Structure 1
């Protein structure tokens, strides 16, 4: 009897794990294009913005935060 309840509990946990894994896989697919951008390219974009920021539009302090708002 105890073995049956342990097997049932294990089966339920396995189903739950599989559902969570599928959910994670689907969410990763949503943000995949962002993850495929090389970190070096992102750093270069930030560097260019920081060194081209002027007082009228962006400052060095606000430029990275504004870029972070881009979807």
Structure 2
């Protein structure tokens, strides 16, 4: 299962993805975040910077209306 939250302003987008899975062979559960910063120019993605470190919790709504895209 993958859950995502998006924040986009101008040419920069931030995507928080939470990946949850279970290994068939062992039954071990995996649960980890991936935080990506994506830069877009002229309608094309020019850079993706992933991070698998533990990010801070993101709010469901940004302090400024209209910043969060509905998932």
TM-score, normalising length from structure 2? 0.19
Q: Which structure is richer in relative contact order (CA contacts within 8 A, separation 6 or more)? A: 2
Bigger strand share: 2
Q: Which structure is larger by alpha-carbon Rg, 1 or 2?
A: 1
